[in-house]
Structure 1
Amino acid sequence: MAERSQQLGVEQLVQQLQLAAHPEGGFYRETFRDERTVEGGRAATTAILYLLPTGAKSKLHRLDASECWHAYLGGPITVVQLDASAPGQVRLTVVGPDLAAGHQLQHVVPANTWFGAVPGDATQEGGAAQWALVGCTVAPGFEFSAFEFGDRARLLAEFPKAAPWIERLMAD
Protein backbone atom coordinates (compact mmCIF):
# COMPACT_ATOMS: atom_id res chain seq x y z
CA MET A 1 0.00 0.00 0.00
CA ALA A 2 2.85 2.41 0.81
CA GLU A 3 4.26 1.61 -2.63
CA ARG A 4 1.00 2.73 -4.30
CA SER A 5 1.07 5.95 -2.23
CA GLN A 6 4.61 6.63 -3.46
CA GLN A 7 3.31 6.54 -7.04
CA LEU A 8 0.80 9.34 -6.47
CA GLY A 9 1.69 12.66 -8.03
CA VAL A 10 1.85 15.98 -6.20
CA GLU A 11 -1.48 17.16 -7.67
CA GLN A 12 -3.18 13.95 -6.54
CA LEU A 13 -1.73 14.27 -3.04
CA VAL A 14 -2.80 17.91 -2.76
CA GLN A 15 -6.33 16.94 -3.75
CA GLN A 16 -6.60 13.70 -1.77
CA LEU A 17 -5.12 15.20 1.42
CA GLN A 18 -6.99 18.51 0.96
CA LEU A 19 -3.81 20.57 1.15
CA ALA A 20 -3.61 24.33 0.60
CA ALA A 21 -0.68 26.51 -0.49
CA HIS A 22 1.58 27.46 2.43
CA PRO A 23 3.06 31.00 2.52
CA GLU A 24 6.57 29.58 3.06
CA GLY A 25 6.24 27.29 0.02
CA GLY A 26 4.73 23.88 -0.56
CA PHE A 27 1.32 22.73 0.63
CA TYR A 28 -0.15 21.96 4.04
CA ARG A 29 -3.20 21.11 6.11
CA GLU A 30 -3.54 21.37 9.84
CA THR A 31 -4.59 17.94 11.12
CA PHE A 32 -4.61 18.55 14.87
CA ARG A 33 -5.04 21.50 17.22
CA ASP A 34 -4.96 20.52 20.88
CA GLU A 35 -7.97 21.62 22.91
CA ARG A 36 -5.66 21.98 25.90
CA THR A 37 -4.13 25.41 26.09
CA VAL A 38 -1.06 26.96 27.61
CA GLU A 39 -0.48 30.45 28.92
CA GLY A 40 -2.24 33.04 26.80
CA GLY A 41 -4.81 30.57 25.50
CA ARG A 42 -2.53 29.08 22.85
CA ALA A 43 -3.05 25.44 21.88
CA ALA A 44 -0.63 23.13 23.67
CA THR A 45 0.34 21.54 20.34
CA THR A 46 -0.59 21.46 16.66
CA ALA A 47 0.23 19.12 13.78
CA ILE A 48 0.20 19.51 10.00
CA LEU A 49 0.83 17.51 6.87
CA TYR A 50 3.41 19.35 4.73
CA LEU A 51 4.17 18.54 1.09
CA LEU A 52 7.21 20.03 -0.60
CA PRO A 53 7.23 19.34 -4.37
CA THR A 54 10.33 18.79 -6.46
CA GLY A 55 12.01 22.16 -7.10
CA ALA A 56 10.14 23.93 -4.30
CA LYS A 57 11.50 25.20 -1.00
CA SER A 58 10.40 26.13 2.46
CA LYS A 59 11.62 29.74 2.70
CA LEU A 60 13.76 30.77 5.66
CA HIS A 61 11.59 31.51 8.65
CA ARG A 62 11.45 31.02 12.39
CA LEU A 63 8.86 30.20 15.00
CA ASP A 64 8.70 30.99 18.68
CA ALA A 65 8.08 27.29 19.38
CA SER A 66 9.90 24.03 18.71
CA GLU A 67 8.91 22.12 15.57
CA CYS A 68 9.34 18.37 15.09
CA TRP A 69 9.53 17.11 11.50
CA HIS A 70 8.41 13.51 10.74
CA ALA A 71 9.07 11.53 7.52
CA TYR A 72 5.99 10.08 5.77
CA LEU A 73 6.03 9.55 1.98
CA GLY A 74 8.08 10.41 -1.07
CA GLY A 75 11.75 11.24 -0.88
CA PRO A 76 13.76 12.77 1.92
CA ILE A 77 13.67 16.44 2.82
CA THR A 78 16.68 18.46 3.99
CA VAL A 79 16.00 20.81 6.89
CA VAL A 80 18.46 23.73 6.81
CA GLN A 81 19.13 25.58 10.08
CA LEU A 82 21.23 28.70 10.61
CA ASP A 83 23.15 28.20 13.84
CA ALA A 84 23.05 31.33 16.00
CA SER A 85 25.54 29.80 18.45
CA ALA A 86 28.13 29.55 15.65
CA PRO A 87 27.29 32.32 13.15
CA GLY A 88 27.83 31.23 9.61
CA GLN A 89 27.38 27.58 10.41
CA VAL A 90 24.61 25.74 8.64
CA ARG A 91 23.15 22.55 10.02
CA LEU A 92 21.69 20.18 7.43
CA THR A 93 19.47 17.34 8.64
CA VAL A 94 17.96 14.90 6.19
CA VAL A 95 14.53 13.71 7.31
CA GLY A 96 13.53 10.57 5.45
CA PRO A 97 13.00 6.83 5.58
CA ASP A 98 16.47 5.56 4.56
CA LEU A 99 18.21 4.96 7.88
CA ALA A 100 21.13 3.25 6.10
CA ALA A 101 21.78 6.54 4.24
CA GLY A 102 21.81 8.49 7.50
CA HIS A 103 18.28 9.88 7.28
CA GLN A 104 16.47 10.82 10.47
CA LEU A 105 12.85 9.75 10.94
CA GLN A 106 12.27 12.81 13.13
CA HIS A 107 14.10 16.08 13.68
CA VAL A 108 13.37 18.93 16.08
CA VAL A 109 14.10 22.53 15.14
CA PRO A 110 14.44 24.54 18.38
CA ALA A 111 12.33 27.63 18.94
CA ASN A 112 13.66 30.91 17.49
CA THR A 113 15.94 29.14 14.97
CA TRP A 114 16.07 30.37 11.37
CA PHE A 115 15.32 27.42 9.10
CA GLY A 116 13.95 26.30 5.78
CA ALA A 117 13.93 23.11 3.74
CA VAL A 118 14.40 21.63 0.29
CA PRO A 119 13.19 18.30 -1.07
CA GLY A 120 15.89 15.69 -1.49
CA ASP A 121 19.13 14.91 0.31
CA ALA A 122 21.22 18.10 0.04
CA THR A 123 24.13 16.38 1.81
CA GLN A 124 24.73 14.11 -1.21
CA GLU A 125 26.27 15.36 -4.44
CA GLY A 126 23.67 15.16 -7.19
CA GLY A 127 21.05 13.62 -4.89
CA ALA A 128 17.81 13.47 -6.84
CA ALA A 129 15.22 15.78 -5.34
CA GLN A 130 11.83 14.09 -5.17
CA TRP A 131 8.71 15.49 -3.53
CA ALA A 132 8.48 14.87 0.19
CA LEU A 133 5.45 14.52 2.43
CA VAL A 134 6.26 15.11 6.08
CA GLY A 135 4.44 15.95 9.26
CA CYS A 136 5.31 18.90 11.46
CA THR A 137 4.30 19.08 15.12
CA VAL A 138 4.68 22.40 16.94
CA ALA A 139 4.61 22.91 20.72
CA PRO A 140 3.26 25.18 21.96
CA GLY A 141 0.86 25.17 19.03
CA PHE A 142 1.56 26.99 15.79
CA GLU A 143 0.16 30.48 15.33
CA PHE A 144 0.76 32.54 12.20
CA SER A 145 1.24 35.54 14.51
CA ALA A 146 4.36 33.79 15.88
CA PHE A 147 5.74 33.00 12.38
CA GLU A 148 8.43 35.30 10.96
CA PHE A 149 9.95 35.27 7.48
CA GLY A 150 13.67 35.98 7.23
CA ASP A 151 14.96 39.26 5.86
CA ARG A 152 17.68 38.61 3.27
CA ALA A 153 19.92 41.59 4.16
CA ARG A 154 19.65 40.98 7.89
CA LEU A 155 20.37 37.24 7.59
CA LEU A 156 23.31 37.82 5.22
CA ALA A 157 24.79 40.30 7.71
CA GLU A 158 24.30 37.92 10.65
CA PHE A 159 25.28 34.70 8.84
CA PRO A 160 27.65 35.71 5.99
CA LYS A 161 29.17 32.20 5.65
CA ALA A 162 25.67 30.82 5.08
CA ALA A 163 25.09 33.12 2.07
CA PRO A 164 24.56 30.30 -0.49
CA TRP A 165 21.81 28.74 1.60
CA ILE A 166 20.27 32.09 2.48
CA GLU A 167 20.12 33.04 -1.21
CA ARG A 168 18.69 29.63 -2.15
CA LEU A 169 16.01 29.71 0.55
CA MET A 170 15.04 33.37 0.07
CA ALA A 171 14.76 33.62 -3.72
CA ASP A 172 11.31 33.63 -5.24
Structure 2
Amino acid sequence: MSWTEKAIEQLGLIPHPEGGYFKETDRATSTISAPASYSQSPPTRNLTTTIFYLLDSRSPKGHFHTNKSPTTHFHHRGRGIYVLIPKDGSRDVIEYEVGQESGRLQWIVTGEYWKASYLPEGEEGCLISEVVAPGFEFDDHEFMSKEELVRLVGEEKAKKYEWLLRKEEQKE
Protein backbone atom coordinates (compact mmCIF):
# COMPACT_ATOMS: atom_id res chain seq x y z
CA MET A 1 0.00 0.00 0.00
CA SER A 2 1.40 3.42 -0.96
CA TRP A 3 1.80 6.20 1.57
CA THR A 4 -1.05 8.10 -0.10
CA GLU A 5 -3.43 5.13 0.22
CA LYS A 6 -2.43 4.80 3.88
CA ALA A 7 -3.02 8.51 4.45
CA ILE A 8 -6.48 8.33 2.85
CA GLU A 9 -7.38 5.38 5.06
CA GLN A 10 -5.78 6.57 8.31
CA LEU A 11 -7.01 10.16 8.04
CA GLY A 12 -10.47 9.21 6.74
CA LEU A 13 -10.13 11.36 3.61
CA ILE A 14 -12.94 11.54 1.05
CA PRO A 15 -13.05 12.95 -2.52
CA HIS A 16 -13.08 16.76 -2.63
CA PRO A 17 -15.24 18.66 -5.17
CA GLU A 18 -12.08 20.62 -6.18
CA GLY A 19 -10.18 17.37 -6.86
CA GLY A 20 -7.98 15.41 -4.48
CA TYR A 21 -9.15 14.23 -1.08
CA PHE A 22 -9.92 15.98 2.21
CA LYS A 23 -11.29 15.75 5.70
CA GLU A 24 -12.40 18.62 7.87
CA THR A 25 -10.61 18.22 11.19
CA ASP A 26 -11.80 21.31 13.05
CA ARG A 27 -14.53 23.93 12.91
CA ALA A 28 -14.10 26.53 15.65
CA THR A 29 -17.17 26.89 17.83
CA SER A 30 -16.73 30.67 18.08
CA THR A 31 -18.39 32.63 15.28
CA ILE A 32 -18.40 36.09 13.75
CA SER A 33 -20.84 37.87 11.45
CA ALA A 34 -20.19 37.17 7.78
CA PRO A 35 -18.15 40.04 6.30
CA ALA A 36 -20.20 42.28 3.98
CA SER A 37 -18.44 41.00 0.83
CA TYR A 38 -19.25 37.35 1.68
CA SER A 39 -22.42 35.44 0.99
CA GLN A 40 -24.85 36.15 3.80
CA SER A 41 -25.95 32.53 3.83
CA PRO A 42 -25.21 31.58 6.54
CA PRO A 43 -25.09 34.98 8.26
CA THR A 44 -22.21 33.94 10.54
CA ARG A 45 -18.86 32.22 9.99
CA ASN A 46 -16.86 30.02 12.31
CA LEU A 47 -13.64 31.80 13.26
CA THR A 48 -11.59 29.06 11.59
CA THR A 49 -11.92 25.73 9.82
CA THR A 50 -9.13 23.22 9.25
CA ILE A 51 -8.76 20.36 6.78
CA PHE A 52 -6.28 17.78 5.58
CA TYR A 53 -5.96 17.91 1.76
CA LEU A 54 -4.21 15.32 -0.43
CA LEU A 55 -3.46 14.99 -4.12
CA ASP A 56 -2.38 11.57 -5.40
CA SER A 57 -1.98 9.75 -8.71
CA ARG A 58 -5.72 8.94 -8.85
CA SER A 59 -6.71 12.57 -8.29
CA PRO A 60 -3.58 14.61 -9.14
CA LYS A 61 -5.03 18.11 -9.47
CA GLY A 62 -7.09 20.65 -7.58
CA HIS A 63 -9.18 22.64 -10.05
CA PHE A 64 -9.09 26.45 -10.27
CA HIS A 65 -11.27 27.94 -7.56
CA THR A 66 -11.44 30.89 -5.22
CA ASN A 67 -12.54 31.34 -1.63
CA LYS A 68 -13.45 34.62 0.04
CA SER A 69 -11.33 33.87 3.12
CA PRO A 70 -7.54 33.68 3.24
CA THR A 71 -6.24 30.11 3.45
CA THR A 72 -3.02 29.24 5.26
CA HIS A 73 -1.44 26.02 3.94
CA PHE A 74 0.95 23.74 5.86
CA HIS A 75 2.99 21.12 4.01
CA HIS A 76 3.29 17.59 5.44
CA ARG A 77 4.62 15.28 2.72
CA GLY A 78 5.33 15.04 -1.03
CA ARG A 79 5.54 17.86 -3.56
CA GLY A 80 2.96 19.94 -5.37
CA ILE A 81 2.76 22.82 -7.81
CA TYR A 82 0.47 25.77 -7.08
CA VAL A 83 -0.85 28.12 -9.78
CA LEU A 84 -2.32 31.47 -8.75
CA ILE A 85 -4.05 33.95 -11.03
CA PRO A 86 -4.87 37.40 -9.61
CA LYS A 87 -8.62 37.98 -9.90
CA ASP A 88 -8.09 41.61 -10.92
CA GLY A 89 -5.70 40.70 -13.77
CA SER A 90 -3.07 43.07 -12.36
CA ARG A 91 -0.17 40.60 -12.44
CA ASP A 92 0.97 37.57 -14.38
CA VAL A 93 0.28 33.98 -13.36
CA ILE A 94 2.27 32.83 -10.32
CA GLU A 95 3.55 29.23 -10.15
CA TYR A 96 5.58 27.65 -7.38
CA GLU A 97 6.51 24.28 -5.96
CA VAL A 98 5.70 23.35 -2.37
CA GLY A 99 7.49 20.76 -0.27
CA GLN A 100 10.75 19.95 1.48
CA GLU A 101 12.88 20.27 -1.68
CA SER A 102 11.63 23.77 -2.47
CA GLY A 103 11.65 24.91 1.15
CA ARG A 104 8.10 26.23 0.84
CA LEU A 105 6.40 24.56 3.81
CA GLN A 106 3.83 27.22 4.62
CA TRP A 107 2.01 29.69 2.35
CA ILE A 108 -1.09 31.86 2.31
CA VAL A 109 -3.51 32.34 -0.56
CA THR A 110 -5.98 35.20 -0.14
CA GLY A 111 -9.38 35.63 -1.73
CA GLU A 112 -7.73 37.90 -4.32
CA TYR A 113 -6.57 34.85 -6.32
CA TRP A 114 -7.86 31.92 -8.31
CA LYS A 115 -5.93 28.87 -7.10
CA ALA A 116 -5.17 25.46 -8.63
CA SER A 117 -2.68 22.76 -7.68
CA TYR A 118 -1.25 19.62 -9.23
CA LEU A 119 1.39 16.96 -8.75
CA PRO A 120 4.66 17.34 -10.63
CA GLU A 121 5.54 14.47 -12.95
CA GLY A 122 6.65 11.38 -11.03
CA GLU A 123 5.35 12.60 -7.66
CA GLU A 124 3.20 10.11 -5.72
CA GLY A 125 1.30 12.66 -3.68
CA CYS A 126 1.19 15.88 -1.71
CA LEU A 127 -0.38 16.10 1.76
CA ILE A 128 -1.10 19.47 3.36
CA SER A 129 -3.35 21.04 5.96
CA GLU A 130 -5.33 24.21 5.36
CA VAL A 131 -6.64 26.68 7.93
CA VAL A 132 -9.30 29.10 6.66
CA ALA A 133 -10.20 32.26 8.60
CA PRO A 134 -13.00 33.25 8.72
CA GLY A 135 -14.03 29.61 8.41
CA PHE A 136 -14.82 27.97 5.08
CA GLU A 137 -18.36 27.86 3.71
CA PHE A 138 -19.17 26.51 0.24
CA ASP A 139 -21.32 29.62 -0.33
CA ASP A 140 -18.07 31.64 -0.38
CA HIS A 141 -16.40 29.29 -2.90
CA GLU A 142 -16.46 29.50 -6.71
CA PHE A 143 -14.94 27.50 -9.55
CA MET A 144 -13.25 29.40 -12.38
CA SER A 145 -14.97 29.38 -15.77
CA LYS A 146 -13.15 29.09 -19.07
CA GLU A 147 -14.44 32.56 -19.96
CA GLU A 148 -12.84 33.99 -16.80
CA LEU A 149 -9.55 32.21 -17.48
CA VAL A 150 -9.39 33.64 -21.01
CA ARG A 151 -10.35 37.13 -19.76
CA LEU A 152 -7.52 37.11 -17.20
CA VAL A 153 -4.65 35.51 -19.13
CA GLY A 154 -5.63 35.71 -22.80
CA GLU A 155 -6.53 32.98 -25.28
CA GLU A 156 -3.00 31.61 -25.82
CA LYS A 157 -2.01 31.35 -22.15
CA ALA A 158 -5.45 29.97 -21.28
CA LYS A 159 -4.64 26.90 -23.40
CA LYS A 160 -1.74 26.13 -21.04
CA TYR A 161 -3.95 26.20 -17.93
CA GLU A 162 -7.32 25.00 -19.25
CA TRP A 163 -6.63 21.45 -18.03
CA LEU A 164 -6.84 22.81 -14.45
CA LEU A 165 -10.47 23.86 -14.90
CA ARG A 166 -13.22 21.52 -13.76
CA LYS A 167 -14.74 19.70 -16.74
CA GLU A 168 -18.04 21.54 -16.22
CA GLU A 169 -16.16 24.87 -16.40
CA GLN A 170 -14.09 23.97 -19.52
CA LYS A 171 -17.11 24.48 -21.79
CA GLU A 172 -17.79 27.99 -23.04
TM range (shorter): 0.7 to 0.9
- Give the SS at the match of 2:31: coil
Given candidates 132, 140, 147, the residue that maps to 1:153 is: 147
**Structure 1: tracts of 5 or more residues without a match:** 1-6, 121-126
Give runs of ≥4 in structure 1 deviating > 6 Å. none
CA gap 1:129/1:88 in 2 versus in 1, 3 angstroms: farther
**RMSD of the TM alignment (CA)?**
2.0
- Sequence identity percentage: 29
Displacement of 1:19 in angstroms is 0.6
CA gap 1:129/1:165 in 2 versus in 1, 3 angstroms: farther
Q: Which residue of 1 aligns with 2:17?
A: 23
Which amino acid in 1 is paired with 2:163? R
Q: For residues 83-141 of structure 1, what are the alpha-carbon distances to aligned partners after superposition, in whole Å with 9 as ceiling and x for unaligned?
A: 2455571111222122xxx3311110111311110123xxxxxx533311111111110
Matches within 5 A, 1:86-165: 86-87=89-90, 89-98=92-101, 102-120=102-120, 128-160=122-154, 162-165=157-160
TM-score under structure 1 normalisation? Answer: 0.81
How many angstroms apart in 1 are the aligned matches of 2:114 and 2:124?
24
How many angstroms apart in 2 are the aligned matches of 1:45 and 1:32?
8
Matches within 5 A, 1:43-62: 43-54=46-57, 56-62=60-66
Which amino acid in 1 is paired with 2:18? E
The range that moved more, 51-60 or 83-92, is 83-92
How many angstroms apart in 2 are the aligned matches of 1:33 and 1:166?
33
